[in-house]
Homo-oligomer: A and B are copies of this chain.
Amino acid sequence: MSDTPAQTPAKTAFTPPTHTAPPARFSHGVRKGNILQVAGQVGFLPAVPGQPPTPAGPTLREQTLQTLANVEAVLREGGASWEDVVMVRVYLTDTGHFAEFNEIYDEYLAGTAGLTGPPAARTTVYVGLPAGLLVEIDAMAVLD
């Protein structure tokens, strides 16, 4: 818009090759200044041309691991990693999933992702999600 301050830092969007184009005018990942924001990710498998998004499976484990992999794909596409993430927002659909989710979350971050520095802050709440989805996660990272 014409009133955008001329000195505002550049804003860049990125979509991992594993991701489908977002269903609306938003970006899977965007960076402006020192902030990198990952949009809400769910447990969809890597996109297959011509096929609709498909969840990794019906279970919390399958969907959580895929969702975290999708968040990581966006972080990497933006030149960041879990070490740069300051906040993770977790949306579950069932309070009964909290303990299992935490086990999977820790297993992924410490194991698969190899996080060695201080973990991000996190907020977990229980909401409604589209049918079949048990978890959605977004993340904010701070870079230079």
**Residues of A that sit less than 8 Å from B by CB:** 1, 3-5, 7-9, 11-13, 22-35, 37-40, 76, 79-84, 86-89, 91, 95, 98, 101-102, 105-106, 109-110, 113-115, 117-131, 136, 138, 140, 142-144
On whether the beta carbons of B125 and A26 are closer than 8 Å, the reply is no
A88 — nearest CB in chain B belongs to which residue?
Answer: B26
> When chains A and B are docked, how far (Å) is the Cα of A84 from the Cα of B30?
11
On whether the beta carbons of B37 and A1 are closer than 8 Å, the reply is no
On whether the beta carbons of A83 and B39 are closer than 8 Å, the reply is no
> When chains A and B are docked, how far (Å) is the Cα of A22 from the Cα of B91?
17
Interchain residue pairs with CB less than 8 A apart (30) = A3-B79, A8-B143, A11-B86, A11-B118, A13-B118, A24-B102, A24-B105, A25-B110, A26-B122, A27-B119, A30-B87, A30-B118, A30-B120, A32-B84, A33-B142, A33-B143, A35-B86, A35-B140, A39-B123, A40-B124, A40-B125, A87-B138, A87-B140, A89-B123, A91-B123, A95-B130, A123-B136, A123-B138, A125-B128, A126-B129
